[in-house]
Structure 1
């Protein structure tokens, strides 16, 4: 495939669809040929703003017979991902799907197997875990995995967002469509960092959740013990009054911190900035890199499995009040 021939169907024209669509419309390697959403007014607005040449499909089943698509970007509710990803791969299309990739273990395992077969046919299939593409976390991963600062001895995360204010009347406030609420949705990106940066494998989990008047979980506080007896503390505050994300990776010889998107190194009682010098990208740009230039997938479907397992353990613990062992 040439670098200018990727014809993209955008499925889901909400917030994330618009985000990906904006990046696609500014990349000469791609052309948005179809926008698909049951809310036709949302699809029409996105087309008028970003892709006047695109066709509008109000029903996703109308998409599968089209011949003007090479790749699909899926930004629909989680329950819809399984059928849409499977069908797109069967059509021979490349797929970028927003997280979570699937809503249950069986569906996720099937999609991982489908993606493996598709990869053998030359298709790309990726999950939209944003932080794997950001310079800050790519640099953090390099520093942690280099062992330059010794093994990881403890990790903590504090994630805050006014997420609850954005979900009223949407699928995100429906526990069937968005199991786990804030943690299952926006928190999925953060949980992925434990595996991407440090390859920490959880062994046991204890968590508590609060819905704060919503139908889904808004706040979670959790304690995790990972392999090698590494303690991990996770706090998700979905009714905060600001957007913030703080990570502390405490290693044997230094602490590596992410404070408001900046990377810091702490040692000998001093805190100093650490340049984030790895490449900066976004999931849809890396997706095009893989299609057009054969670049490695930064977020292949199999990376969704440990995130799913940890999320399920956190939710089970919060429901039962028990410590949950992670297989």
Structure 2
């Protein structure tokens, strides 16, 4: 492959603006086609980013896949169409980077992974925390054994999500497939599973929707296969953004408060702080381009999408039935 990746963008709403801003800083990335069912969103994107002024546009992803000369696609459309768009793109012989959640069901996750294997292409998820130094540091210490065995995880994520998304597709269950737990909460669940390497065994959940179609506040109790326990609170009716993650291991404990990592090592009295740094690519878009070019591995591969939806789906089921769910 030439040292440039031709990308087609599927869905040109708000979050795609962030992706475009990052891709325009990657010299090997060439944004070569745009598609969105709403032409006004395409025009808004072009006005905001003049380099895209002459970029070809299409009224549907199928037309773009058939006509445009591409190496890969970036998907930032509503959640319920992710699976079909990923599968269609893989069948067109293209690599795929998708916004979270990868899919909305365990069944669809397996479908994507089967098509990925058949196509021999890459599927990545825009879980940007996989590129961030604080989380990569925690993963390395746990994976390498220095931190000891993970024994307990406590996490809280608060966001003014219910009011901020009122009237949008994110609160229409048929389109979003779920609420805050499936949106920003997807990042939290993914990073806990990724840095710890733990697999859930049992999930219990209480969910409050405040008469909305989708989950707003969720309280999860998780038991992992190694015996570790976790409490995860995702609060979509919080007046501000706040996130705390604590991971307690047999030798070390990690505290991530608003993106700042502090960790305490066994046998030491002092608490050390690590400033946030990035390892390799600075974001998921750059990592994806480098992965397509064979320079890096995809830092958030499709297996992360499967693991995240497994826990999320178990929480939804538990919240609906009032009973624990075994995985």
CA deviation after TM superposition for structure 1 residue 253, in Å: 2.1
Q: How many angstroms apart in 2 are the aligned matches of 1:316 and 1:177?
A: 19
Question: Which position in structure 2 is the counterpart of 1:260?
Answer: 258
SS at match of 2:67: coil
Q: How many angstroms apart in 2 are the aligned matches of 1:178 and 1:67?
A: 28
SS at match of 1:176: helix
Q: How many angstroms apart in 1 are the aligned matches of 2:270 and 2:240?
A: 27
Q: How many angstroms apart in 2 are the aligned matches of 1:152 and 1:125?
A: 29
Could you tell me which of 199, 202, 209 is aligned with 2:200? 202
C-alpha contact 1:205 1:325 (8 A) present in aligned 2: yes
Question: Which position in structure 1 is the counterpart of 2:18?
Answer: 19
Q: CA RMSD in A?
A: 1.7
1:173 paired with 2:171, answer yes
SS at match of 1:106: helix
1:139-176 Cα deviation digits (max 9, x unpaired): 11112222212211100101111111221222210112
Q: Normalization by structure 1: what TM-score?
A: 0.93
Using a 3 Å threshold, how does the CA distance of structure 1 residues 67 and 38 change in structure 2: closer, same or farther? Answer: closer
SS at match of 2:226: helix
Q: Which runs of 5+ in 1 are unaligned?
A: none
CA deviation after TM superposition for structure 1 residue 287, in Å: 0.4
Number of equivalences: 322
Question: Which position in structure 1 is the counterpart of 2:271?
Answer: 271
Question: Which position in structure 2 is the counterpart of 1:316?
Answer: 317
Question: Which position in structure 2 is the counterpart of 1:46?
Answer: 45
CA deviation after TM superposition for structure 1 residue 98, in Å: 1.3
Identify which range, 48-57 or 284-293, moves more after superposition.
Answer: 48-57
Q: Which runs of 5+ in 2 are unaligned?
A: none
Q: Normalization by structure 2: what TM-score?
A: 0.93
Question: Which position in structure 1 is the counterpart of 2:88?
Answer: 87
Q: How many angstroms apart in 1 are the aligned matches of 2:119 and 2:283?
A: 22
CA deviation after TM superposition for structure 1 residue 130, in Å: 1.9
Q: How many angstroms apart in 1 are the aligned matches of 2:29 and 2:67?
A: 17
Q: How many angstroms apart in 2 are the aligned matches of 1:103 and 1:149?
A: 33
1:185 paired with 2:183, answer yes
CA deviation after TM superposition for structure 1 residue 269, in Å: 5.8
C-alpha contact 2:243 2:257 (8 A) present in aligned 1: yes
1:63-84 Cα deviation digits (max 9, x unpaired): 1221332211001112111221
CA deviation after TM superposition for structure 1 residue 215, in Å: 2.0
Matches within 5 A, 1:153-172: 153-172=151-170
Matches within 5 A, 1:50-69: 50=49, 51-69=52-70
Question: Which position in structure 2 is the counterpart of 1:302?
Answer: 303
SS at match of 1:263: strand
SS at match of 2:282: coil
Matches within 5 A, 1:219-258: 219-258=217-256
Q: How many angstroms apart in 2 are the aligned matches of 1:240 and 1:87?
A: 38
